[in-house]
Amino acid sequence: MRTKKWYDYLWIWSIIYFAMGFFNILFAWLGMIDFLLPLLIAVFGKSKWFCNHLCGRGQLFALLGGKLKLSRNKPTPKWMVSKWFRYSFLLFFMTMFGNMVFQTWLVASGTAGLREAIKLLWTIRVPWGWTYTAGAVSPWIAQFSFGFYGLMLTSLIIGLAVMLLYKPRSWCTFCPMGTMTQGICRLENRRDNIERAQS
């Protein structure tokens, strides 16, 4: 059996991250690490090392669904693994991310006021004001936190739902970060092959 490494426990970080968002919404910014690191590793390392070793969320689904047997463990539906669904979901997710950045810009420019709420599943507005003290930071910094935390919580809820229904890591088949890193790695490897063929 392989000896455990420090990064095998990153599922704990995932729990801590979501818990912190219940106390101070500004901690939501730390989620940008999970957003940027996979992309950086894919671009410069040409690998999915983040997915395979560093993703606390993937580990959490594996733990809950696998070890704790909370998953029905049914096969992930074919449509969920299909290219059209993965890329459509990525497009949808990035559109929502772009909308969240736009809302942040509106607040930064003074066109809109700070909304101390998060949106779950892109539709349900949940008041979340107790996690923020007005004036603690610039309103746009707080707006981004509310928006980003809502997005992170939404993807966690979807991931947990598919974990319960299908294989523990079914979320990984259409996770936007996984789709993006896979696309980057493919492009990088294709470029390497072309360069090798030309040299």
- By CB under 6 A, the residues from 130 to 189 that bind ligand SF4 are 171-172, 175, 177-178
Tell me which residue has tokens 């990984």.
172
Among 51, 153, 160, 162, binds ligand SF4 (CB under 6 A): 51
Please say which residue, 36 or 121, places its beta carbon nearer to ligand SF4.
36
Residue closer to ligand SF4 by CB (options 38, 65) is: 38
CB of 69 vs ligand SF4, minimal distance in Å: 20
Which residue, among 165, 146, 190, 188, has the nearest Cα to 24 in the 3D structure?
A: 146
Question: Could you give the CA distance from residue 10 to residue 153 in angstroms, rounded to a whole number?
Answer: 17
What are the helix (H) ranges across the chain?
Answer: 10-20, 31-45, 49, 56-62, 78-81, 83-108, 139-165, 171-174, 176-198
Q: Take residue 165 and report the two structure tokens written for it.
A: 């229904």
- Residue 50 and residue 181 in contact, taking contact as beta carbons nearer than 8 Å: yes
Q: Least distance (Å) from ligand SF4 to the CB of residue 39?
A: 10
Number of residues that bind ligand SF4 (CB under 6 A): 10
Instruction: Give whole-number Cα distances, 12 to 16, 172, 177, in Å.
Output: 6, 18, 20
Radius of gyration of the chain (CA): 18
Strands 124-127 and 117-120: antiparallel
The span of 8-16, 25-33, 55-63, 101-109 binding ligand SF4 (CB under 6 A) equals: 55-63
Residue with the closest Cβ to ligand SF4? 178
The region of 50-58, 90-98, 111-119, 122-130 touching ligand SF4 under the rule CB under 6 A is 50-58
55 scored as a contact of ligand SF4 (CB under 6 A)? yes
Task: Tell whether residue 65 is a contact of ligand SF4 (CB under 6 A).
Answer: no
10 binding ligand SF4? (CB under 6 A): no
The values of phi and psi at residue 14, to 5°, are -60, -45
Return residues touching ligand SF4 (CB under 6 A). 38, 51, 55, 57-58, 171-172, 175, 177-178
